[in-house]
Amino acid sequence: MSTTPIATIQHQGLATWVMETALLCEAENVVWCDGSHDEWNRLTEQLVESGTLIQLNPDLHPNSFLARSNPSDTARVEERTFICSRRESDAGPTNNWHEPEGMRSKLTAKFRGCMRGRTMYVVPFCMGPIDSPLALVGVELTDSPYVVISMRIMCHMGTQVLEKLGTDQPFIHCLHSVGAPLGAGLPDVPWPCNDEKYIVHFPETREVWSYGSGYGGNALLGKKCVALRIASSIARDQGWMAEHMLIMGLESPDGAKTYLTAAFPSSCGKTNLAMIVPPERYQKIGWKTTLVGDDIAWLWPGKTGKLHAINPETGFFGVAPGTSWLSNPAAMQAMSKNTIFTNVALTRDGGVWWEGHSDPPKELIDWTGQHWTPDCGRLAAHPNSRFTAPAEQCPNIDAEWQNPDGVPIDAIVFGGRRPTTMPLVFQAFDWTHGVFLGATQGSETTAAAAGKVGTVRRDPMAMLPFCGYNMGEYFTHWLDMRKHIQRLPRMFHVNWFRRDSSGKFLWPGFRENLRVLEWIVKRCQGKIPGHETPIGWIPDWVDFCVDGLDGFSEEQFDAAMEFRRDEWMAEIMSQNEFFLRLYHSMPKELMCQRELLMARMA
């Protein structure tokens, strides 16, 4: 952390922007962040003193802290997230659009004086390995020290990034404020924020302005804002892809390494799959899994002729509830130290707890700071409570996870939470068919969710909230990429959540999902056949490993793999609303894919 005089900064454009913004926001101090351990120690001590952080028991979680946000500031605010492209059609019907100059005027008024009494931190950051050809450099100006320490975990930041900028390199301008100026002599609050929030993207000028929230993707602007919304726009212009995908490696007993990416809507087990540990039987015969990234993938045609992928982040910003030593031991080990927990419960001995962690303790302090017991009728942790942990602490982090040239991708996997219709796994016929599968993926509403039971909520490529431009043009970009990839990856669709007539899951899931990944790997390697059906290629019983899966019969396999023409015709009809919404920009190839599917069902 440095109070470097602006006059000593070599990048004149950056220095001018910082000075002008400090004057606009009326910041009391300007601090240039260097990303050092000393800076981390000073800021965490400051945040503990102010009540924003609680230091956890160092014997349980060394160098780790708990934050409790304001109850009004606990998640992304999609209804207040805007794409301010010059033309409304460039944002498309699935994004909130606002005319850019009008939004600038509105936000300038909001930011005027917003940092009064506060320090403005200058956070140079880089998404992606610093030497990667895709690396994107940004600078976030923020009045939140919580954001500074979180960005230090989630990306490369500090002096090394400032040096990369040199004297004139372009960078993404990111401005953030919690929107809570301090009057003279007035006390601060542990979690300052504003009831009025704006998360605004200007794709043509590569800018992000965020006001009113201190939480997660609303404030850590390198994450969803830059690494997906702005990056997706840049990727379209430059011929690569910014995707909401995990990246993982699978090493088979013969030593062959296969990398895949996967995109799932929320609540579909994405993080658990990214960090999957092979079942004991698979470990004994030599199967290994590695993690490159759990959330975002940047992909481009690599030197090998394959699609290559990097993880632009250096940390995990994971949902805590449901994470345990049973469901995701790799995540539990990753968050064992040097971690910031937000909105989880505090145990009597200075540890953390959340629903699904373990058996409930007799008493806790819940995420709002109140005394909690198992029978009190409240959740101990917020459903969207988080852990921010360094990726390098994951026990199976891939040796190539920071390779600037990325890893070669052999498979792309889509999926959703579907109690009916979708088989456990099937393979697309070709790239265009695979894009169609990704474009129509979604999850089915249940009795526990808002909306009509059985309605499929479409989330194409899991990018619906994160695509920085028109979704129809996004599909076109996917289709165009096939022209630039010499060795196209195979494409698959999975569904761990199919149920029988009594409502029971047909597939055991969790670590046993590696059996599905094994079939995918062997299909990529050309080692096993697939059975052709109207929806794609599916595995035969004899080619799918169920050894050691006690009680799982061929009849159960057939039920998990079954496709029913009546359900698929209903599926095709349910796509109508989504296709009509994007009609003016929907590529004709996807319309044809839908017609071909209907023809195959005849």
Residue positions annotated with a catalytic role:
268
In terms of Cα–Cα distance, which of 21, 23, 34 is closest to 142?
Answer: 21
Pairing of strands 172-177, 136-142: parallel
Residue with tokens 């990234």: 293
Rounded Cα gap, residues 27 and 11, in angstroms: 21
Rounded to 10°, the helix 431-439/588-601 angle is 90
Between CA 325 and CA 62 the distance in angstroms is 18
> Can you tell me the distance from the alpha carbon of 153 to that of 349, in angstroms, rounded to the nearest whole number?
26
Determine the Cα–Cα distance for residues 214 and 180; give it in Å rounded to an integer. 10
Exposure class string for 82-91: b at 16+ Cβ within 10 A, else e: bbbbeeeebb
DSSP 316-332: EEEE-TT--TTT-HHHH
User: Which position has the token pair 């070709």?
Assistant: 430
560 and 504 Cβ atoms separated by less than 8 Å: no
Q: Are 157 and 174 in contact (CB under 8 A)?
A: no
**CA 271/CA 394 separation, integer angstroms:** 12
Burial code (b: 16+ CB inside 10 Å, e: under 16) for 194-208 equals beebbbbbbbeebbb
List phi, psi (to 5°) of 345. -90, 155
Distance CA 208, CA 225 (A): 7
Radius of gyration over every alpha carbon of the chain, rounded to an integer in angstroms: 24
By residue count, the chain amounts to: 602
